[in-house]
Amino acid sequence: MALARLISRLSHAAVAGLIGLAKVATGAALVVAVLPLAFILSAQVYRWANLGDWRPVPLHEFLEMLAIAPPAVTVGGAQTTIDMLVDLPATLVLFLLAAVLVCLKGLLNRLAAWHRRARSRARAEDALRTIERAFAGKPR
């Protein structure tokens, strides 16, 4: 029985660690998405306030600034889809990415809370079984 308890504790610890790691990675990705979004929006607002015109920044220009080339795909109409996506405004793409990451972070928080409750229930059941065995006079 002690081996089963050890395996259960190790598996719960591993799951909790993986959830924590996913939350950290999601938080880091959120920062990576929000910082450029804030930079682009502030530059656009500054230009709009000083010159009176709004210049949208397409995603392909933003990727060029980062020295990232959009992938070239030769499969069917995939290249047309990629071209359409990189022509979207970078602020829109970064905002949608941030929104998806916030939702993912919320789901991970709910999963972590559920996992803590499940672990707590398992500990309570284990303690109850130990007490029942003690009253019945059986060894652990």
Q: What would the DSSP string read from start to end of 34-89?
A: HHHHHHHHHHHHHHHHHHS-----BHHHHHHHTT-PPPP--STTHHHHHHHHHTSB
Nearest by Cα to 95 from 48, 30, 42: 30
Kindly report, residue by residue over 77-97, the tens digit of the pLDDT.
788 888 888 899 999 999 999
Q: What is the pLDDT of residue 120?
A: 87
**Full-model pTM:** 0.78
What is the rounded average pLDDT for all residues in the chain? 89
